[in-house]
Amino acid sequence: MQAPVFPRDPDLGRRPVLYTAFHFGGMTQKLLISARWVVPVEPDGAVLAGHAVAVRDGRIEAVLPIAEAEARFADYAREDLPDHALIPGLVNAHTHAAMSLMRGMADDLPLMRWLQEHVWPAEAKHVSPQFVKDGTLLACAEMLRGGITCFNDMYFFPEAALEAAQLAGMRAALGMIVIEFPSAYASDPDDYLAKGLALRDRWREHPLLSFCLAPHAPYTVSDATFRKIATLAGEIEVPVHVHLHETEDEIAQSVAQHGLRPLERLRRLGLAGPGLIAVHAVHLEDEEIALLARHGATVAHCPSSNLKLASGFAPVAKLARAGVGLALGTDGAASNNRLDLMEEMRLAALLAKAVAKNAEALPARAALRAATLGGAAALGLEARIGSIVAGKEADLAAVVLQGAPELDPCYDPVSQLVYVAGRQQVSHAWVAGRCLLREGNLQNDALLGLDTRTKLWQNVLRECP
């Protein structure tokens, strides 16, 4: 199979080439996927035994019992999954995909020391469009192998991440990153915004792409810039994706500098609303949880990263009780070190129970919803992806749930998905009906042979402090 040819202009991304699923190989326009279980996520908690999903032109045409499907769709190509659960493709609601090239580079350090002494100096020296493209391709390959079909990215040179997502065939929400200090990508906040908005204008009609405004964090973005972002978010109706209340130090610094906790500062600047994706949200007081709920905001919960950086434990059960939207993210591989949403589901459910001292907190079905429809809703994509419903796009994943000692017996498929299965049990993944992973093997040549480029970057980055 030939990888698609992407424009390689020196000024990457200025000329839009609207690939759709039909520009890629590996797609069957009419496909019938039968599975031992179909877990549609909508309605909540549903498990459909012995069902099939009919896919036509990249969309879900019907969900129905296998016998009926075989009669009605006899001419469709078949994919039979007798030991599997078919689920919506997982949605990674927060990551820095290109930082896969920094996996393990500076482990076992607290957040600000990790950023200031290692990550930011390495980025200043080495981050470029090629770095972002190669790192994002590596991330796409890892994510697809774990059933992730859509990711919400925040990083420099989003046009290079866009190119990588296109080559991979994945669905992506590209962050229009904004930060106060200059980088190789942009000189100041206005330059960041101008470049991000121009990229969105060129690619906004692409069927696999969407965009978020992505101010990095309250401690790296000024009031003036936040006000501009609040105005823009209202005008162009995109989510605002920001690190928020990740550490106690962040909050203490905000109080010292602004006289306000970060969330209250953002509220006063006009950023509290249904489009707010509050990443991490570890340290929240009860009134702040109520504020997030009242404004319809979403928390992108990243349990592994919170644990590894010793940021703390997000109050997930309280968020759920208040009605705050919950999505799951991996964060970047530099602070996780895995882009593994199956692992995040399990950790999220277990930690929620321990923190709340309540075994009923974040049950398996809620964890699965957060990893699928919750992420889709945060990105404004819930009408298109996140559940297996007729009319939605066929972003799907298949997970083996029985037939091996570590998997048997299976009493409850949803519980099995969250507490037993891992990404190694993910066998298939489809994006808009195109099969990108089959029997655990990536189907796109663009995602093969990445080890050579990865080793080259490793040799460069190992010189960093």
Q: State mean pLDDT over 1-11.
A: 32
Residues 232 and 311 in one domain: yes
pLDDT higher than threshold 60 for residue 269: yes
Query: Domain total for the chain?
Result: 2
pLDDT tens digits for 351-393? 999 999 999 999 999 999 999 999 999 999 999 999 999 999 9
Q: State mean pLDDT over 19-35.
A: 65
Residues 75 and 100 in one domain: no
Q: What is the pLDDT of residue 465?
A: 58
pLDDT tens digits for 424-442? 999 999 999 999 999 999 9
Report if residue 222 sits inside a domain. yes
Report if residue 369 sits inside a domain. yes
- Output the domain CATH number for residue 433: 2.30.40.10
pLDDT higher than threshold 90 for residue 15: no
Question: Which residue has better confidence, 180 or 118?
Answer: 180
Q: What is the pLDDT of residue 461?
A: 85
Report if residue 332 sits inside a domain. yes
pLDDT higher than threshold 80 for residue 27: no
Report if residue 451 sits inside a domain. no
Residues 142 and 229 in one domain: yes
pLDDT bucket at 50, cuts 50 / 70 / 90: very high
Q: What is the pLDDT of residue 464?
A: 63
Q: State mean pLDDT over 278-287.
A: 98
Residues 79 and 129 in one domain: no
pLDDT higher than threshold 80 for residue 20: no
pLDDT tens digits for 329-352? 999 999 999 999 999 999 999 999
Residues 103 and 248 in one domain: yes
Q: What is the pLDDT of residue 106?
A: 86
Residues 216 and 287 in one domain: yes
pLDDT tens digits for 74-113? 999 999 999 999 999 999 999 999 999 999 988 998 888 8
Residues 250 and 111 in one domain: yes
Q: State mean pLDDT over 17-29.
A: 46
Report if residue 127 sits inside a domain. yes
Residues 370 and 427 in one domain: no
- Output the domain CATH number for residue 173: 3.20.20.140
pLDDT bucket at 462, cuts 50 / 70 / 90: confident
Residues 81 and 106 in one domain: no
Please give the share of the chain, as a percent, with pLDDT higher than 70. 93
Model pTM score: 0.93
Least confident range from 43-57, 117-131, 411-425: namely 117-131
Range of the domain at 52: 25-88+394-443
Mean pLDDT of the chain: 93
Q: What is the pLDDT of residue 4?
A: 30
pLDDT tens digits for 115-150? 899 888 888 888 999 999 999 999 999 999 999 999
What 3 state SS string does the chain have? CCCCCCCCCCCCCCCCCCCCHHHCCCECCEEEEEEEEECCCCCCCCCEEEEEEEEECCEEEEEEEHHHHHHHCCCCEEEEEEEEEEEECEEEEEECHHHHHHCCCCCCCCHHHHHHHHHHHHHHHHCCHHHHHHHHHHHHHHHHHCCEEEEEECCCCHHHHHHHHHHHCCEEEEEEEECCCCCCCCCCHHHHHHHHHHHHHHHCCCCCEEEEEEECCCCCCCHHHHHHHHHHHHHHCCCEEEEECCCHHHHHHHHHHHCCCHHHHHHHCCCCCCCEEEEECCCCCHHHHHHHHHCCCEEEECHHHHHHCCCCCCCHHHHHHHCCEEEECCCCHHHCCCCCHHHHHHHHHHHHHHHHCCCCCCCHHHHHHHHHHHHHHHCCCCCCCCCCCCCCECCEEEEECCCCCCCCCCCCHHHHHHHCCCHHHEEEEEECCEEEEECCEECCHHHCCCHHHHHHHHHHHCCCC
Residues 221 and 328 in one domain: yes
Residues 295 and 349 in one domain: yes
Residues 193 and 212 in one domain: yes
Q: What is the pLDDT of residue 21?
A: 36
Question: Which residue has better confidence, 31 or 17?
Answer: 31
pLDDT bucket at 6, cuts 50 / 70 / 90: very low
pLDDT higher than threshold 50 for residue 12: no
Report if residue 408 sits inside a domain. yes
Report if residue 9 sits inside a domain. no
Question: Which residue has better confidence, 456 or 419?
Answer: 419
Report if residue 439 sits inside a domain. yes
Please give the share of the chain, as a percent, with pLDDT higher than 90. 86
Q: State mean pLDDT over 180-209.
A: 97
Q: What is the pLDDT of residue 22?
A: 34
